[in-house]
Chain A
Amino acid sequence: MLTAAEIEDGLDDAMKEHVKRVIDIDKLSLTFQTNDGPVHALSDIDLKIDEGDFVSFIGPSGCGKTTLLRVIADLEQPTAGSITVNGVSPQEARLNRAYGYVFQAAALYPWRTIAKNVALPLEIMGLSRAEQQDRIARNMELVNLAGFEKKYPWQLSGGMQQRASIARALAVEPDLLLMDEPFGALDEIVRDHLNEQLLQLWAKTNKTVVFVTHSIPEAVFLSTKIVVLCPRPGRIYDVIESDLPRDRNLDIRESPEFLKIAHRVRDGLRAGHSYED
């Protein structure tokens, strides 16, 4: 007895046999028990993410974007439904060091220099000194922080701190990057620059990226798939497959295709909102 959805899934799988499924979320819900009663942060989420996808979660604040990302990272436990990461439970995936997580704040350790901060996960993984040095140099270079190795976090601007935290996540060399509004606090110019760098990195390495944002242009510019969420209870309103070329630069933001997708995202956000009122 197969349901229509399951058959569709099966067809989907058959067609994309060569592509690895990285994240598979099925009827997932998460309710926080608080003193003011239950908060339905996530409700009935179905989502599939394949290797090489760049997926953005977009939605008004409080719609569960961070919570969903934290569930994937095994930082929160769902109350219903199922989720696999690389075919195993999030916990197992975490223990396999399947992902790198970039928090909304840089979360650097104040008593460590920038290089030492990047080294932190590498020390925990027990890598050799030489390997650590190699990865630190490579990833600091990648985020344009070469030369700031010996500085302490407080000596750097907010943008540089956030870049250091990205270098720290990349140094783990995960195939899956989970990023929670990493550029949210940065100004427009820095954000554009980092978006381009991130896109280049993604195109070069075939990593899978799950990216939380509340900026429509950012979501459309970066993503192959845009997931529009809406609040109370947090749920998926729309999933938009982007047909923009993988190889893109900032100019694409003026193109009609870009604007069309941006329009659909905006409609989704608006509809998700008015649903409530």
Chain B
Amino acid sequence: MTDTTLSSPRTNLSPFAGLMSGTVGPVTVVVLAILAIWYIAAAALNTPFQQDMYERAGQEHVQFTQLIADTWAQERPVLPAPHQVVVEIWNTTVEKKITSKRSLIYHSSITLSSTLLGFLIGTTLGILLAVGIVHSRVLDKSLMPWIISSQTIPILAIAPMIIVVLNAIGVSGLLPKAMISTYLSFFPVTVGMVKGLRSPEVIHMDLMHTYSATRVQAFWKLRLPYAVPFLFTSMKIGMAASLVGAIVGELPTGAVAGLGARLLAGSYYGQTIQIWSALIVAAILAGSLVALIGIMEKVALKRMGMAQ
């Protein structure tokens, strides 16, 4: 009881331990470590090309610091340095008009809209499938194997087919890309919701039975509330998968807009800085979307009285 108050935990610790005690500390340390590794890797990977350049220009005895500085400032490096990516992102977001074809915000919004559409359809589909599977043995037995095997097909193989088939029947624009997001995002939602809808404790199911509750009543009053935390967790996975789907969906069409199109164009012209900035923006987008669902989860669980 008392020994927790005897030694104050903050007095005799090293500054490093103090740094690691919050959440900001560890995150900062990890970010710094990643940046350091990135800079070193950039220098190492870009050195051969840089030395070719010196040779061609007849420069000899270049100082080491000069070499390093030059590897971090190439126009088309094998691996761009972090600050080059940051500058590129700055130039293509803040400095560009949103309507410009070179604006990353413009491209992001294209990808975002098919991500959200696909996610919405995928989540709805996932919930409906789960409800069917939980309530019907026949659906459980007949659908589940197909749902699982659907995810063993590599998305890169199936994406062009989906796009081509949908184009052939006259569906174009946002929807074909969104279909690929749907294809990737319905799965985690289905699996998570099946688990969630089946998770009520036996005693709670028995209670419903003693009330002679109908299946519909048991669903709304017991299964669904139980499944809510599962739903949010699987929606986070589904959202990230949706974004991947939307980007992948932009590759085979030779799309001219979207983050996927930026990646494609970047690799055509060896614009590695452009590729990396599109990648980083995609990662930021995914992180923000998942964080948004996390906030919705907190609010929902608090309103349900389940966040203590």
Contacts and interface: CB of A to CB of B under 8 A. Distances in A.
A binds B: yes
Interface of A: 73-75, 94-95, 97, 99-101, 103, 105, 107, 109-113, 120-121, 123-125, 152, 154, 172
B308 interface: yes
Contact of A111 (B208, B209, B217, B306): B306
A110 B306 contact: yes
Nearest to B200: A109
B276 to A, nearest CB: 45
A123 B221 contact: yes
Interface in B219-251: 221-222, 225
Given A75-B209, A103-B206, A103-B207, A120 B305 contact: no
B212 A152 contact: no
Contacts of A73: 210
A113 B305 contact: yes
Contacts of B306: 110-111
Contacts of A152: 305
B225 A111 contact: yes
Given A109-B225, A112-B305, A113-B305, A101 B203 contact: no
Contacts of A109: 204, 221-222, 225
Given A123-B221, A152-B305, A154-B308, A107 B203 contact: yes
Interface residues of B, number: 19
Given A107-B204, A107-B206, A124-B213, 6 more contacts: A94-B210, A103-B206, A110-B305, A111-B304, A120-B221, A125-B211
19 contacts: A75-B206, A94-B212, A97-B212, A100-B210, A101-B210, A103-B206, A103-B207, A107-B204, A107-B206, A109-B204, A109-B225, A111-B304, A120-B221, A121-B211, A123-B221, A124-B208, A124-B211, A125-B211, A152-B305
A217 B211 CA distance: 31
A120 B210 CA distance: 12
Contacts, number: 50
A100 B212 CA distance: 11
Specify the main secondary structure of chain B where it touches its partner: helix
A9 B113 CA distance: 77
Contacts of A95: 212
Per CB-CB distance, the 4 closest pairs between chain A and chain B, nearest first, are A111-B304, A152-B305, A101-B210, A107-B203
Contacts of A99: 210
Interface of A (DSSP majority class)? loop
Contacts of A94: 209-210, 212
Nearest to A95: B212
B176 to A, nearest CB: 40
Contacts of B207: 101, 103, 107
Interface of B: 201, 203-204, 206-213, 217, 221-222, 225, 304-306, 308
Contact of B217 (A101, A110, A112, A124): A124
A112 B221 CA distance: 10
B37 to A, nearest CB: 45
A167 to B, nearest CB: 14
B203 A105 contact: yes
Contacts of A110: 305-306
Nearest to A104: B203
- Between B207, B208, B210, B305, the greatest number of chain A beta carbons within 10 A of the residue's beta carbon is seen for B210
Contacts of A123: 221
B39 to A, nearest CB: 50
Nearest to A73: B210
A172 B213 CA distance: 13
A152 B211 CA distance: 22
Contacts of B217: 124
A262 B209 CA distance: 36
Contacts of A97: 211-212
Contacts of B221: 109, 120, 123-124
Contacts of A105: 203
Nearest to B203: A107
A136 to B, nearest CB: 16
A267 B225 CA distance: 49
A73 B212 CA distance: 11
A81 B210 CA distance: 22
A150 to B, nearest CB: 10
Nearest to B218: A124
A152 B304 CA distance: 10
Contact of B203 (A74, A103, A120): A103
Nearest to B306: A111
B226 to A, nearest CB: 9
